[in-house]
Amino acid sequence: MSPRPPLHDFFMTRYTEANAAEIATFIAALAGKGKAEPTGEDGLIALALADAAVKSAVEMRVVTVAEVMG
């Protein structure tokens, strides 16, 4: 059996490098050295997906993203 890295019990320790890159990109965008990502539109789409999932679970039916974005 080959050794494996330890399991991480908290998302911040799992994604340390990704979080550092995200913060660096955000700071660069604030300084005018790049664009902010994800965009506000990306956030809106993620929220619509979550809203559709909740509505689908509550109503026990298929709910489209277009339906919740109205």
Name residue 18's amino acid. A
The DSSP result for 20-70, as a single string, is HHHHHHHHHHHTTSS--SS-HHHHHHHHHHHHHHHHHHHHTS---HHHHH-
Look at residue 8 in the predicted model and tell me its pLDDT: 67
Name residue 53's amino acid. A
User: What's the CA gap between 67 and 41, in Å, rounded?
Assistant: 17
Burial, 60: exposed, middle or buried (Cβ in 10 Å; 0-12, 13-18, 19+)? exposed
Q: Is the full-model pTM beyond 0.75?
A: no
Higher pLDDT, 42 or 1: 42
Residues 8-38 pLDDT 10s:
677 767 788 888 998 999 999 999 998 888 8
pLDDT band at 67 (very low <50, low <70, confident <90, very high): very high
